[in-house]
Chain A
Amino acid sequence: MTTTPLLSVRGLSKQFGRVITAEDLTFDVHQGEALGIVGPNGAGKSTLLNLIGGVIEPDSGSLMFDGQDITRLGAAERAKSGIGRSFQIPRPFTGMTVFENVYVGASFAGDTRGQAGYERSYQALETTGLLHLAEHRAGQLRLLDRKRLELARALATKPKLILLDEIAGGLTEREIPQLVETIRQLVASGVTVVWIEHIVHALVSAVDRLMCLAEGRILAIGDPSEVMKSPEVIEVYLGSTMATAEDI
């Protein structure tokens, strides 16, 4: 790709005590692209999203987003600059209704207040299939709807880039395709997505490129099927070079 990347990660490192969760990570995410991230538990996937989203600060390295250096910006500023995210374990505002949850995203990071904000919230609920639950307390939702709410809130911020942290995790086999389809439509509509998922088959089918992390380092990045065939990736996943991509 010759265009300027939407997100440029350069030499990003983060250490918690002696545990290195991100080590000199360098990669680009281009406009309109869907980048999948896989890796075993503790590989540093969520840490990477937290670093991009501004929930934690890096020890070193830099982040450029949409032509702006965001390395020192807080989470709220990054959300305003167009980075939306969903959390692995949903974090609904339990005391508010579903609609109000989404309106927080629309009116703060999305900066659309009043009627325009209501309309954007409505659209986000419609896109994620939550409209019929708009008036329910967010604390009463079941897991699939909580995951949808994570997505709806992020969408209401009108993000240029959306970070998804295991949005399909914990869902049943029947529920996963519904959510994957919603995300496919998002990508098709031009939203750039960085998507962590343990359920690899869901991811491989929906992303343009795949990145495999292990112990805070990038093991492989590129075409999804190529990455999954890489011997290093197979080894970290199954601990054996005898395994094949089909086993994963």
Chain B
Amino acid sequence: MSKSLAGAAVTQTVKVRRSTRSSYVGVAVFAIAIAALAIGPFAFLTKGNQQNLVTLFTYIILGTMWNLLAGYGGMVSIGQQAFIGIGAYGIVYAADNLGVGPIIAVPIAMVISGAIAYLVSFLAFRLSGGYFAIGTWVIAEVIKLVTTQITALGAGSGISLTAFAGAKPEIRIATVYWMALASVVVAVLVTYLLIRSRLGAGFTALRDDPTAAATLGVHVTRSKRVIWVAAAMGCGLAGALLAANTLRVQPDSVYSVQLTAAMIFIVVIGGIGTIEGPIVGAIVYFALEQYLSDLGAWYLVILGSVAIIMVLFLPQGLWGLLSGKGRIQLFPTGYRLISGPPIAEGSKES
């Protein structure tokens, strides 16, 4: 770096680092984990395990999507169940009515969710803050009511996914499991690459201050729409996986606001505004649900208490604690200025 040609003055270029040492470790650990999970159905995962893991993968996708919305886009939505429901009905419609294979039906369900989200954005984006939050919930309820009017989709009683009928249970369960594993990897990776891209810096800026972001050239509404549609497609993906896992879609369950409550819980517990946080949060939420849901109402009391304690004492979430307040970054998105030309005199003053 300090060598120069023909003895000319040494100029050190500005160096910015985007990866961290922990990110290399992170890539390795995740690659191994994904490889192990991929061969799981052949080796150590029972059918029940696989179905449970599909639920966990779905939670990771949902947490990642709510984090994308609120943690990077500054949009606190409590109506994401709309797109989960559309995704769930979307896979049934595509697979059973259009007759495409279940694997093709998943992206179709995502596209339907994204397209409806795009149209809804023109209404929802007229609102902001608390009005936006309630508005998204109202929109979700309207979408649910519209769905229950469509007899082809089973109206109020719901519909079953029959595309897998005839397949052996172990084949069907493993297929859905691999679909879910591929989906969670793609969803987290795409979100990460989006946040890490130049657009991602603009998202974070508009989350912190939309007016200032606009005066620095960030197209605020356009950027928010990109996030909104991407998050809806992710929720649609999760909805499709839920339907494929349970083979049954009922309006009261797939359009339940409880799903968005779970998304918020996952993000709050794991840590908002990081890629890692929702993964950690989803694992915790999944574990609590597995071990405590038999407790009935007490389960909800415990969930609520955990959320309150986290918000009060650990606002950065569990990942904030595990990462040593951000010292460890498995998915770094920032720009670290490492070196540059010697600092000029004027810059040293404070």
Task: Confirm or deny: A59 has a beta carbon within 8 angstroms of a beta carbon on chain B.
Answer: no
A119 to B16, CA, bound (A): 9
> Is the beta-carbon distance between A94 and B215 smaller than 8 angstroms?
no
Task: Confirm or deny: B3 has a beta carbon within 8 angstroms of a beta carbon on chain A.
Answer: no
> Which chain A residues numbered 150 to 181 have a C-beta less than 8 Å away from chain B?
153-154, 157, 178
> Is the beta-carbon distance between B337 and A91 smaller than 8 angstroms?
no
> Which chain A residues numbered 122 to 136 have a C-beta less than 8 Å away from chain B?
122, 125-126, 129-132, 134-135
A55 to B337, CA, bound (A): 31
A195 to B16, CA, bound (A): 33
The stretch from B94-102, B183-191, B200-208, B224-232 touching chain A is: B200-208
A92 to B201, CA, bound (A): 13
- Of B198, B215, B344, the residue contacting A75 (CB under 8 A) is B215
> Which chain B residues numbered 269 to 305 have a C-beta less than 8 Å away from chain A?
273
**Chain B residues whose C-beta falls within 8 Å of the C-beta of A108 in the assembled complex:** 198, 202, 216-218
- Given the interface pairs A93-B208, A131-B343, the reply to whether A122 lies near B201 with Cβ below 8 Å is no
**Chain A residues whose C-beta falls within 8 Å of the C-beta of B15 in the assembled complex:** 118
**Chain A residues whose C-beta falls within 8 Å of the C-beta of B346 in the assembled complex:** 126, 129
How extensive is the interface on chain B, given as a class?
Answer: 35 or more
A60 to B201, CA, bound (A): 35
> Is the beta-carbon distance between A99 and B347 smaller than 8 angstroms?
no
A74 to B207, CA, bound (A): 18
Chain A residue with Cβ nearest B333 = A100
Task: Confirm or deny: A184 has a beta carbon within 8 angstroms of a beta carbon on chain B.
Answer: no
Task: Confirm or deny: B336 has a beta carbon within 8 angstroms of a beta carbon on chain A.
Answer: yes
> Is the beta-carbon distance between A79 and B217 smaller than 8 angstroms?
yes
Chain B CB within 10 Å — which of A76, A94, A109, A131 has the most? Answer: A76
Task: Confirm or deny: A115 has a beta carbon within 8 angstroms of a beta carbon on chain B.
Answer: yes
Task: Confirm or deny: B214 has a beta carbon within 8 angstroms of a beta carbon on chain A.
Answer: yes
Nearest CB in chain B: distance from A106 CB, A: 9
> Is the beta-carbon distance between B212 and A87 smaller than 8 angstroms?
yes
**Chain B residues whose C-beta falls within 8 Å of the C-beta of A103 in the assembled complex:** 201, 335
Task: Confirm or deny: B107 has a beta carbon within 8 angstroms of a beta carbon on chain A.
Answer: no
Task: Confirm or deny: B211 has a beta carbon within 8 angstroms of a beta carbon on chain A.
Answer: yes
**Chain A residues whose C-beta falls within 8 Å of the C-beta of B350 in the assembled complex:** 132
**Chain B residues whose C-beta falls within 8 Å of the C-beta of A119 in the assembled complex:** 13-14
Task: Confirm or deny: B219 has a beta carbon within 8 angstroms of a beta carbon on chain A.
Answer: yes
Task: Confirm or deny: B334 has a beta carbon within 8 angstroms of a beta carbon on chain A.
Answer: yes
**Chain A residues whose C-beta falls within 8 Å of the C-beta of B334 in the assembled complex:** 96-97, 100
A151 to B75, CA, bound (A): 28
Count of interface residues, chain A, beta-carbon cutoff 8 Å? 46
**Chain B residues whose C-beta falls within 8 Å of the C-beta of A92 in the assembled complex:** 208-209, 212
Chain A residue with Cβ nearest B207 = A95
> Is the beta-carbon distance between B198 and A107 smaller than 8 angstroms?
yes
- Given the interface pairs A129-B349, A178-B349, the reply to whether A94 lies near B208 with Cβ below 8 Å is yes
**Chain A residues whose C-beta falls within 8 Å of the C-beta of B207 in the assembled complex:** 95
Nearest CB in chain A: distance from B321 CB, A: 18
> Is the beta-carbon distance between A96 and B209 smaller than 8 angstroms?
no
Task: Confirm or deny: B220 has a beta carbon within 8 angstroms of a beta carbon on chain A.
Answer: yes
> Is the beta-carbon distance between B347 and A157 smaller than 8 angstroms?
no
- Of B208, B220, B336, B347, the residue contacting A129 (CB under 8 A) is B347
> Is the beta-carbon distance between B205 and A96 smaller than 8 angstroms?
yes
- Of B201, B205, B211, B218, the residue contacting A55 (CB under 8 A) is B211
Task: Confirm or deny: B213 has a beta carbon within 8 angstroms of a beta carbon on chain A.
Answer: yes
- Of B201, B220, B343, the residue contacting A104 (CB under 8 A) is B201
Nearest CB in chain B: distance from A130 CB, A: 7
Nearest CB in chain B: distance from A166 CB, A: 16
> Which chain B residues numbered 142 to 188 have a C-beta less than 8 Å away from chain A?
none
> Is the beta-carbon distance between A115 and B211 smaller than 8 angstroms?
no
> Is the beta-carbon distance between B335 and A115 smaller than 8 angstroms?
no
Chain B positions near chain A (C-beta within 8 angstroms)? 13-16, 198, 201-202, 204-205, 207-209, 211-220, 273, 334-337, 340-341, 343-344, 346-350
Q: Give 19 pairs: A residue, B residue, CB < 8 Å, sorted on A.
A: A54-B215, A55-B215, A76-B215, A76-B218, A76-B220, A93-B209, A95-B208, A96-B208, A97-B336, A103-B201, A104-B218, A105-B216, A107-B198, A115-B14, A119-B13, A122-B340, A126-B344, A134-B337, A153-B212
- Counting from the closest, the 9 A-B pairs by CB-CB distance are A109-B217, A108-B217, A91-B212, A75-B214, A131-B347, A93-B208, A79-B217, A105-B216, A122-B14
